[in-house]
């Protein structure tokens, strides 16, 4: 499972893919994840989209989603935080 998530994550890092296509992919992935019950969450937008292990929705929202949005202003810190989240896989 981790290899699959890493490969999907890599798509969001490809700079040649337009942001609107990445958002469309994110929306479709969220639908598929919801149906499948796979414990993966998706946060962020465009090239800053991050796949990470899902936890309790209340915690993911406050401790992951909101922090990632806040860290958009501090790219180096966001990168480190995102890396820490992927280590949880």
C-alpha 27/C-alpha 63 separation (Å) is: 21
Question: Residue 83: is its pLDDT beyond 70?
Answer: yes
Q: pLDDT digit string (tens) for 25-63? A: 999 999 998 899 888 888 877 667 888 777 656 555 666
Going by pLDDT thresholds of 50, 70 and 90, the confidence category of residue 7 is confident
Question: Residue 1: is its pLDDT beyond 60?
Answer: no
**DSSP state at residue 46:** G
pTM, rounded to two decimals: 0.61
In angstroms, the first-to-last Cα distance of the chain is 9
In the prediction, which pLDDT does 66 show? Answer: 75
Question: Residue 24: is its pLDDT beyond 80?
Answer: yes
């Amino acid at each position: 499972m981790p290899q699959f998530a890493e490969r999907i994550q890599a798509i969001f890092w490809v700079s040649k893919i337009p942001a609107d296509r990445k958002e469309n992919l994110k929306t479709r992935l969220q639908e598929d994840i919801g149906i499948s019950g796979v414990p993966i969450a998706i946060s962020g937008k465009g090239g800053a989209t991050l796949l990470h292990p899902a936890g309790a929705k209340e915690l993911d929202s406050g401790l992951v989603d909101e922090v990632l949005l806040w860290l958009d202003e501090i790219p180096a810190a966001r990168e480190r935080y995102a890396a820490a989240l992927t280590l949880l896989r």
